[in-house]
Amino acid sequence: MSTFLPFATTQFVTRNGQQLSLDGKSFSFAGANFWHIGMQTNDFADQVLQAAKSKRIAVLRVAAWNEKDVTHGKDPGGNWFQEWTNGKPIINDGPNGLQVLDHTVQQAEAAGIKFIMMLTNNWLDYGGMDTYTHNLLSDQESHTSFFTNPTVIDAFKTYIRAVVTRYASSPAILAWELANEARCQESNCNKGQVLTDWADQISSFIKTLDPNHLVTFGGYGYLSDGPCCDFQYDGDSGEDHSAILKLPSIDFGTVHHYTQDDTYPGLQYGMDWFKAHNQASVAANKPMIVEELGVNRGKLDISGDDIMRQYEEYLSDPGQAGAVQGVVLWSADVMGGECPMQGDPYAICTADGSYEGLVRDFGLKMAGKAGAGGPKMLSKRAQKALITYGEHLLLSLFGFMAWYVSNGHSRFLDCGAPILRRVATSID
């Protein structure tokens, strides 16, 4: 029997420059990827959320898509959010569909845990982009068509509308993510322009549906201005991280990184990768969230923990990585599973002796980062209100002084107010 967790907050996460805010305070966090939490039973969701909260995990990255492709004989089993039959999509809002996600979101609200909600996937896990193109166009249709074909875009928007409007008033949602690791690698992708245009269109569409929540792209963070033959920098991915970050409806940047071993890409490569993205976020004056961070513990063993600690030390340091407001570990087990996890060498398991430091203590460091970066900024509205109050106070003071002096000295009354008005105007 599931029970609702104690009520936590009704506030939405907002951004102010490179900072995130919650309940009027700066907000930074550590989290974990737990894609399938909304695809299981209600009891499973309850257990995950309570365990995550006890381990100081403030944010979970969650799949808000799950496709049953009857047309091609692909059935995820259990629950699904959208079914494709004879090439046509049908949104499932029944008890084995979005109602399961409803319960998960309600429980997250009560627990005070936030979700980054991914709306589709570049890969075919749980469905994804090619499920749209294969059903609506043909099995031979290019991946690029997901980003350019009007029929496909309209179908995706229909699904977005159903999900986003369903949770538009929920404080459990930290952000809507357009897609996990979208890529456009075919010859007609125009070196990033296709993805940038698509991201502009879809993010703007979401903002019209839901002005309460942040929106992000969800990409790996591929750059396009680096040297040839390094896929993460040379633009061949079709993602131009810096261009997408500058879009008006994108609220923060995302970056993913995995360290395979001690050679390439090793520790220094990872550090340089994070520094490049922190600099891009500072240039765009927007926050950055590391949405996937993993070290191959199968290959690196104890040295992998050392590499992860150095990553976490850098990312939680406001002096070095000031734009980084969140780090979502690829897989931080909260349910006490066997370790190492089969098929996931990047998982940090509760049975690990390093779990306390790499997950729990890191959660505290990231939460404390919000208060360590200098004085907290007031919102523009609060700044203007404070200036207006100061203006009235100054006028009262001059009026009191004028009561004592002759009318010839009343010119002092004209000095303060215009100056403060100019300061208030400059904040707009």
* CA distance linking residue 104 with residue 38, whole number of Å: 6
* pLDDT given at position 173: 98
Q: Which residues contact 228 (CB under 8 A, 6 or more apart)?
A: 234
In a domain, 6, yes or no: no
* The model's pTM: 0.84
Half-sphere exposure of 295 (CA within 13 A, CB side): 25
Angle at 385 between CA 380 and CA 387, to 5 degrees: 95
| Residue 151 sits in the same domain as residue 35 | yes
In a domain, 271, yes or no: yes
| Residue 333 sits in the same domain as residue 415 | no
* CA distance linking residue 81 with residue 95, whole number of Å: 10
- By residue range, what is the domain housing residue 418? 384-427
Cβ pair 52, 34 in contact under 8 A: yes
In a domain, 397, yes or no: yes
Cβ pair 12, 212 in contact under 8 A: yes
Q: Which of 377, 393, 415 is the last residue of a domain?
A: 377
Where would I find the H helices in 285-296? Answer: none
Cβ pair 325, 368 in contact under 8 A: no
| Residue 138 sits in the same domain as residue 23 | yes
CA distances from 360 to 37, 83, 201, 329, 353 (A): 20, 39, 38, 12, 12
Residue 10's pLDDT band (boundaries 50, 70, 90)?
Answer: low
* pLDDT given at position 143: 96
SS3 189: helix
Q: Give the residue from 226, 325, 326, 216 showing the smallest Cα distance to 276.
A: 226
* pLDDT given at position 378: 41
In a domain, 1, yes or no: no
CA distances from 191 to 187, 188, 257, 386 (A): 8, 8, 21, 47
* pLDDT given at position 55: 87
pLDDT in tens, 106-146: 999 999 999 999 999 999 988 999 999 999 999 999 999 99
CA distances from 187 to 132, 149, 184, 197, 238 (A): 21, 16, 9, 16, 10
* pLDDT given at position 9: 54
| Residue 389 sits in the same domain as residue 300 | no
* pLDDT given at position 425: 39
With 50 as the cut, is the pLDDT of residue 102 above it?
Answer: yes
* pLDDT given at position 7: 39
| Residue 364 sits in the same domain as residue 397 | no
* pLDDT given at position 109: 95
Q: Which of 336, 355, 377 is the last residue of a domain?
A: 377
Which tokens is 61 given?
């990255």
Q: Which of 339, 362, 377 is the last residue of a domain?
A: 377
pLDDT in tens, 77-89: 889 999 999 999 9
Q: Are strands 88-91 and 82-85 parallel, antiparallel or unpaired?
A: antiparallel
Residue 416's pLDDT band (boundaries 50, 70, 90)?
Answer: very low
Q: Tell me how many domains the chain contains.
A: 2
* CA distance linking residue 206 with residue 383, whole number of Å: 29
| Residue 336 sits in the same domain as residue 403 | no
| Residue 47 sits in the same domain as residue 129 | yes
Which of 198-202, 254-258, 369-373 is least confident?
369-373
With 60 as the cut, is the pLDDT of residue 375 above it?
Answer: no
| Residue 358 sits in the same domain as residue 399 | no
In a domain, 4, yes or no: no
Residue 229's pLDDT band (boundaries 50, 70, 90)?
Answer: confident
With 90 as the cut, is the pLDDT of residue 21 above it?
Answer: yes
Instruction: Kindly tell me the burial class for residue 190, based on how many C-beta atoms sit within 10 Å of its own C-beta (0-12, 13-18, 19 or more).
Output: middle
With 70 as the cut, is the pLDDT of residue 5 above it?
Answer: no
In a domain, 9, yes or no: no
* pLDDT given at position 56: 86
Cα four-point dihedral sign 231, 236, 239, 243? positive
Is 181 among the residues known to form the active site?
Answer: yes
* CA distance linking residue 52 with residue 60, whole number of Å: 9
* pLDDT given at position 178: 98
| Residue 191 sits in the same domain as residue 220 | yes
DSSP, res 419: H
The per-residue pLDDT of the chain, averaged, comes to 85
Is 391 among the residues known to form the active site?
Answer: no
Which tokens is 75 given?
């059935």
CA distances from 112 to 15, 48, 226, 362 (A): 18, 13, 40, 18
| Residue 152 sits in the same domain as residue 178 | yes
In a domain, 229, yes or no: yes
pLDDT in tens, 158-194: 999 999 999 999 999 999 999 999 999 999 998 899 9
DSSP 241-264: HHHHHTSTT--BEEEEEEE-SSST
* pLDDT given at position 328: 97
Exactly one of 181, 239, 291, 312 is catalytic; name it: 181
* pLDDT given at position 263: 65
In a domain, 98, yes or no: yes
Exactly one of 83, 292, 312, 391 is catalytic; name it: 292
Residue 405's pLDDT band (boundaries 50, 70, 90)?
Answer: very low
Q: What is the CATH number of the domain that holds 203?
A: 3.20.20.80
| Residue 396 sits in the same domain as residue 268 | no
| Residue 370 sits in the same domain as residue 236 | yes
Q: Give the residue from 153, 135, 159, 205 showing the smallest Cα distance to 65.
A: 159
Cis before 227 (ω within 30): no
* CA distance linking residue 355 with residue 376, whole number of Å: 31
